[in-house]
Amino acid sequence: MPSLTLLGQSVVSGLLAGGLYALLALGLSLSWGLLRLVNLSHFALALLGAYLTYQLGHAFHLAPWLAAGLIVPAFFALGVVLHVVFARFRVTEFTSLLVTFGLAVILESLIQWFWTADYRRYETPWASASIRVGPLFVPTLELLACLTAATLAVATWAWLRFTYVGKALRAAAEDPAMAGAFGVNHRAHAFVLSGISAAYAGVAGAFIALISTLAPAQIWAWLGTVFAVVIIGGLGNPVGALLAGFLIGVSESVTMAVAAPAWAPLVSFSILIGLLVLRPERV
């Protein structure tokens, strides 16, 4: 049995890792839950955002928050354009899997072509900064990523819950024709939502650049875990995605501490399977 300090430290790093999962899960959950599009290229976009943050910092000495300030609006526009294509070709929930898988592979190849398959590390003075809380260490950047995820999740939740556009998006997700009969222009809203989803990938990308080592194949590393987070959190439920991120992050990291790292995916997917057995109506 590991010491209490080790256990405490693993809970902290689990929460922080969960924050990053949630940050990645947010956009995916929104487009899956509200547009009925499973966007596998979301991970590729996030990694592209990470490489761009790295490139802008490395080559142009642009601070990461300024880089994010450029990347996030650009990704919003990219998300809108992507949805124009999806709408034009009448992409459905199932075909979206195929189309966005293809898109992810293309983006991966582009990243590999431009930045090569070598590992890239964005060295910043803040990379090793951390806050000490008693015997525990909290890395500052990961904490910031986690707080950003929480802020975005709560803000998005409030937007969906309290604004007319948010309610219209949820109504149209259930029955687009009926929502349309009451004046909801779902086609127009879908562009905005797709833009927001891609913008969130950009935010996640900026933090990934700062926190982790970059490699093109990283796209696929997140896929399983973040999918589990999206489904456990409930499709289209941002706060659910945040809590599910924490749940998966903590259970993985505690498993790594008490058992072995190899057991971590088993725990997160057991949670997913257990949930699907007990509450199948969630998907």
Partner 1 sequence: MLLEVRRLAIAYGDAPAVWDATLEVDAGEVVSVIGPNGAGKSTLVNTIAGLHRARSGELRFAGLDLGAVAPHLVCRHGIALVPEGRRLFARMSVEENLDIGCYRGEARRARRETLDRVYHLFPILSERRRQAAGSLSGGQQQMAAIGRALMARPRLLLLDEPSLGLAPAVVDHMFEIIRAIHAEGVTILLVEQNVVRALEIADRAYVLEEGRVVAGGAPAVLREQTRIQEAYLGLRDGGGPS
Token pair for 154 = 């709560």
| CA atoms of 120 and 118, how far apart (whole Å) | 6
Identified binder of partner 1 from the candidate list 11, 58, 144, 167, rule CB under 8 A: 167
**Residue 87 interacts with partner 1 (CB under 8 A): yes or no:** no
**Residue 184 interacts with partner 1 (CB under 8 A): yes or no:** yes
Identified binder of partner 1 from the candidate list 177, 262, 277, 278, rule CB under 8 A: 177
Tell me which DSSP letter residue 214 carries.
Answer: B
**Residue 56 interacts with partner 1 (CB under 8 A): yes or no:** no
For the chain, helix, strand, coil in percent to 5 are 80, 5, 15
Identified binder of partner 1 from the candidate list 180, 192, 251, 282, rule CB under 8 A: 180
| CA atoms of 185 and 23, how far apart (whole Å) | 28
H or E stretch at 35: helix 4-35
**Residue 183 interacts with partner 1 (CB under 8 A): yes or no:** yes
Residues in the interface with partner 1 (CB under 8 A) total 17
| CA atoms of 38 and 117, how far apart (whole Å) | 27
Q: How far is the CB of 175 from partner 1 (least distance, A)?
A: 6
| CA atoms of 257 and 264, how far apart (whole Å) | 10
C-beta of residue 248 within 8 angstroms of C-beta of residue 254: no
Q: How far is the CB of 154 from partner 1 (least distance, A)?
A: 19
C-beta of residue 117 within 8 angstroms of C-beta of residue 215: yes
**Residue 164 interacts with partner 1 (CB under 8 A): yes or no:** yes
Tell me which DSSP letter residue 282 carries.
Answer: G
| CA atoms of 158 and 155, how far apart (whole Å) | 5
The residue type at 104: A
**Residue 174 interacts with partner 1 (CB under 8 A): yes or no:** yes
Which CA distances in Å does 18 have to 86, 88, 196?
30, 36, 21
Among the candidate windows 117-125, 145-153, 163-171, 250-258, which touches partner 1 by CB under 8 A?
163-171
List, in sequence order, every beta strand (DSSP E) within the chain: 130-133, 136-139
**Residue 282 interacts with partner 1 (CB under 8 A): yes or no:** no
Among the candidate windows 54-62, 105-113, 177-185, 224-232, which touches partner 1 by CB under 8 A?
177-185
**Residue 190 interacts with partner 1 (CB under 8 A): yes or no:** no
**Residue 90 interacts with partner 1 (CB under 8 A): yes or no:** no
Q: How far is the CB of 46 from partner 1 (least distance, A)?
A: 28
Token pair for 43 = 């991970």
Identified binder of partner 1 from the candidate list 81, 171, 223, 267, rule CB under 8 A: 171
Q: Which CB, 93 or 175, lies closer to partner 1?
A: 175
Identified binder of partner 1 from the candidate list 126, 147, 175, 274, rule CB under 8 A: 175
Residues 4-33 that bind partner 1 (CB under 8 A): none
Query: Between 113 and 152, how does the x/- string for binding to partner 1 read (CB under 8 A)?
Result: ----------------------------------------
Nearest to 276 by CA among 243, 235, 223: 235
Q: Which CB, 58 or 170, lies closer to partner 1?
A: 170
C-beta of residue 249 within 8 angstroms of C-beta of residue 21: yes
Give the interface with partner 1 as residue ranges (CB under 8 A). Answer: 164, 167-168, 170-171, 174-175, 177-186
